[in-house]
Amino acid sequence: MTDSAYDAGLDDRKLRSALEELAEQSGPPGSLDRQKMQDDVARRARRRRFAATTSGVLLAVVAAVAVPVFLMDRVGGSGHQTAAPGTARPPGTPSGGPSKVAVGPDPEGLHYLSEAVLHLGQDEYGDIYGGMKVDDCKCSLTVYLTDIGRQGEFLAALQQRTSPIAPGLVTFTRSMFTTSRCRQLTGDVMDALAARSLPFVISRAWTGSGCSALNLGVDDVAAAQVYFADPANLAGFEGLVIAVEFSSSPPVLVPNRS
Amino acid sequence: MDRQADRRWPAIDALVTARSKALKRYAYLLCGSSHGADDLVQEALTRVLSRRMPTDPQELEKYVRRVIVNIVVDEARRTVRWGRLLPWVSARDEVMDRSGEIVERVALAEVLAALAPRQRACVVLRYYEDLPVDEIAALLGCGEGTVKSQLHDARRVLARRWDVPAGERTGIAKGDAR
């Protein structure tokens, strides 16, 4: 589109020369007020520094909040395997651990019991403790142990802390790995996968109850299933079930797809 | 005083020595007042001093010109915003209805002053700076279509109101009933 197409009746050359003439009327340039300019520059620099400091502090606060959440998600803390310590604590319970109180089949009691199981599993039975699953609907708690033969011993120790426990409230199931071994194995798998060229992006990783499986949130489920169906790709991870499901979260591993 | 700005002063001094008149003219066409043009150039140079700036003299001048036009357009935006708020904080002045008056032909400066700041900037950049439409669009941070539309509207106003001697005019604005 040429300028003449914008309208008729206006001569571009005349407009150009008229603008030149008009510019001539601007008069001689005034001298610069250097002092004012220097003051303005200094003021702008101060304002920039303040803005940078403020945004840095805000960024640090956001990072302090977001990074632990992100890391928990990556390492495999699903959040529903173990009840978070400090939640639903009965009134008067000290924060160092649950004291010996009666536990009934109610949600509050269940959460209190899960806290006791967690302490016991991490402290005294770390060699066999494989996590737990709390079922709020059925009001039951499943404890995973690698040595199921010691369930009576575990229950007795638990009752010493929380007795009496309502019958049927706690059940036991065998798990493949202890929680610490599961965490280590998960870390190894993630490290190994990070070093490979994968045909999909991993955006989440978490373990199932009792470390029954390592669950991966991926962008391409079909490609991931094909990949993990090949035994050669699972070398070194024997015994660990890897399950995949679709996830659109931001990636934790971005493998080379080339 | 900022040390970085200290290092930038020689380049600014060189630019002012060599091109202050050209910058003043450019600013004058954009703002329409001699004092305003001086202030505009000074403000632009201050802003340039506060940032990283090109070392090449020609690029530096281009950069200063870009800052000048941005200041003009930004100021206009602020004025429009304030204009919207003004009725809430002060009594409204009575506005005379001039729609029935015959539009007289006036000098170019007055017609330019009547243009919207962005239209005015487009006219100056196109017909004084001789910039192509795509460069104007990049400079003003808008699309080429917007620039063409602004130029179109500005040219219609100029064709209708600008007092070009009759013998010098090449034609008459057609279909301009506004």
> What are the extents of the domains in chain A?
34-75, 79-175, 179-246
Q: Based on the domain organization, do B70 and B121 belong to the same domain?
A: no
The reported pLDDT for the residue numbered B68 is 92
Between chains, do B151 and A11 touch, taking CB under 8 Å as contact? no
The reported pLDDT for the residue numbered A44 is 84
Task: Name which of A22, A29, A44 is nearest B21 (Cβ-Cβ).
Answer: A29
pLDDT band, residue B82 (cuts 50/70/90): low
Does the reported pTM lie above 0.80? Answer: no
For B137, residues 6+ apart whose C-beta sits below 8 A from its C-beta are B143, B144, B146, B147
Between chains, do B127 and A15 touch, taking CB under 8 Å as contact? yes
The reported pLDDT for the residue numbered B175 is 37
Where residue B125 falls (left for φ over 0; alpha for ψ -120 to 50; beta otherwise) is alpha
Question: Is it the case that residue A95 has pLDDT exceeding 50?
Answer: no
| Interface subset of B 131-170, CB within 8 angstroms of A | 148, 151-152, 155-156, 158-159, 162, 164, 168-170
Backbone angles phi, psi at A162, to 5 degrees: -130, 5
pLDDT band, residue A82 (cuts 50/70/90): very low
Q: Which of A33-37, A98-102, B20-24 has the highest mean pLDDT?
A: B20-24
B79 part of contact set with chain A, CB < 8 Å: no
pLDDT band, residue A255 (cuts 50/70/90): low
Mean of pLDDT values over A193-216: 80
pLDDT over 70 percentage in chain A: 78
Question: Is it the case that residue A168 has pLDDT exceeding 70?
Answer: yes
In a domain, B17, yes or no: yes
Residues of A in contact with B47 (CB under 8 A): 44
B77 part of contact set with chain A, CB < 8 Å: no
Q: Tokens at residue B20, please?
A: 């202050």
Q: Based on the domain organization, do B109 and B82 belong to the same domain?
A: no
Residues of A in contact with B112 (CB under 8 A): 22
DSSP letters spanning A175-210:
-SS-HHHHHHHHHHHHHHHHTS--SS-EEEEEE-GG
What domain count does chain B have?
Answer: 2
Q: Based on the domain organization, do B81 and B113 belong to the same domain?
A: no
CA–CA gap between residue A23 and residue B23 (Å, rounded): 10
Mean of pLDDT values over A197-212: 79
CA–CA gap between residue A187 and residue A189 (Å, rounded): 5
CA–CA gap between residue A23 and residue A29 (Å, rounded): 12
Classify residue A128 by its DSSP letter: T
Q: Based on the domain organization, do B129 and B64 belong to the same domain?
A: no
Q: Based on the domain organization, do B84 and B2 belong to the same domain?
A: yes
The reported pLDDT for the residue numbered B2 is 60
**In the predicted model, what is the mean pLDDT of chain B?**
78
B29 part of contact set with chain A, CB < 8 Å: yes
Q: Which residue of B has its CA nearest to A40?
A: B46
Question: Is it the case that residue B176 has pLDDT exceeding 50?
Answer: no
Between chains, do A41 and B45 touch, taking CB under 8 Å as contact? no
Q: Domain span at residue B134?
A: 105-166
Q: Based on the domain organization, do B79 and B7 belong to the same domain?
A: yes
The reported pLDDT for the residue numbered A132 is 86
Q: Which of A6-15, A242-251, B35-44 has the highest mean pLDDT?
A: B35-44
The reported pLDDT for the residue numbered B31 is 87
Question: Is it the case that residue A258 has pLDDT exceeding 50?
Answer: no
The reported pLDDT for the residue numbered A190 is 81
Pairwise pLDDT comparison (B116 vs B107), residue with the higher score: B116
Question: Is it the case that residue B39 has pLDDT exceeding 70?
Answer: yes
Q: For residues A148-166, b (16+ Cβ closer than 10 Å) or e, as one string?
A: eeebeebbebbeebbeebe
Name the minimum distance, in Å, from the CA of A54 to any CA of chain B: 20
Pairwise pLDDT comparison (A133 vs B41), residue with the higher score: B41
Q: Based on the domain organization, do B12 and B79 belong to the same domain?
A: yes
Sheet arrangement for strand A140-145: A129-135, A140-145, A170-174
In a domain, B98, yes or no: no
Q: Count of CB atoms within 10 A of residue A16's CB?
A: 14
pLDDT over 90 percentage in chain A: 0
Q: Which residue of A has its CA nearest to B38?
A: A30
Domain edge (last residue) among B35, B61, B88: B88
CA–CA gap between residue B12 and residue A117 (Å, rounded): 73
Bridge-based pairing state of the strands A129-135 and A140-145: antiparallel
Between chains, do A9 and B171 touch, taking CB under 8 Å as contact? yes
What is the assigned CATH class of domain A179-246? alpha beta
Q: What is the CATH number of the domain that holds B135?
A: 1.10.10.10
- ipTM for the whole complex: 0.73
CA–CA gap between residue B27 and residue B21 (Å, rounded): 10
Residues of B in contact with A30 (CB under 8 A): 24, 35, 38
Residues of A in contact with B41 (CB under 8 A): 29, 32
**In the predicted model, what is the mean pLDDT of chain A?**
76
Q: Count of CB atoms within 10 A of residue A29's CB?
A: 21
pLDDT band, residue B122 (cuts 50/70/90): very high
Q: Based on the domain organization, do B138 and B56 belong to the same domain?
A: no
Q: Which of A1-10, A161-170, B163-172 has the highest mean pLDDT?
A: A161-170
Name the minimum distance, in Å, from the CA of A49 to any CA of chain B: 11
Q: Return the number of CB contacts < 8 Å for A and B.
A: 123
| Interface subset of A 29-68, CB within 8 angstroms of B | 29-30, 32-33, 36-38, 40-42, 44-45, 48
Domain edge (last residue) among B61, B88, B115: B88
B33 part of contact set with chain A, CB < 8 Å: no
CA–CA gap between residue A16 and residue A105 (Å, rounded): 90
Domain edge (last residue) among B88, B119, B153: B88
pLDDT band, residue A108 (cuts 50/70/90): low
Residues of A in contact with B16 (CB under 8 A): 32
Q: Based on the domain organization, do B2 and B69 belong to the same domain?
A: yes
Pairwise pLDDT comparison (A195 vs A147), residue with the higher score: A147
For B156, residues 6+ apart whose C-beta sits below 8 A from its C-beta are A6, A7, B173, B176, B178
Q: Based on the domain organization, do B9 and B40 belong to the same domain?
A: yes
Classify residue A67 by its DSSP letter: H
Name the minimum distance, in Å, from the CA of A29 to any CA of chain B: 6
Task: Name which of A9, A24, A29 is nearest B38 (Cβ-Cβ).
Answer: A29
CA–CA gap between residue A106 and residue B3 (Å, rounded): 69
Q: Tokens at residue A23, please?
A: 């510019």
Name the minimum distance, in Å, from the CA of B87 to any CA of chain A: 32
Mean of pLDDT values over A89-110: 50
Residues of B in contact with A28 (CB under 8 A): 21, 24
The reported pLDDT for the residue numbered B174 is 37
B86 part of contact set with chain A, CB < 8 Å: no
Question: Is it the case that residue A96 has pLDDT exceeding 50?
Answer: no
Q: Based on the domain organization, do B68 and B15 belong to the same domain?
A: yes
Tell me the pLDDT tens digit for each residue of B84-105. 666 666 555 554 444 444 444 5
Q: Which residue of B has its CA nearest to A13?
A: B127
Mean of pLDDT values over B157-163: 81
CA A189, A194, A197 angle in degrees (round to 5)?
115
Question: Is it the case that residue A257 has pLDDT exceeding 80?
Answer: no
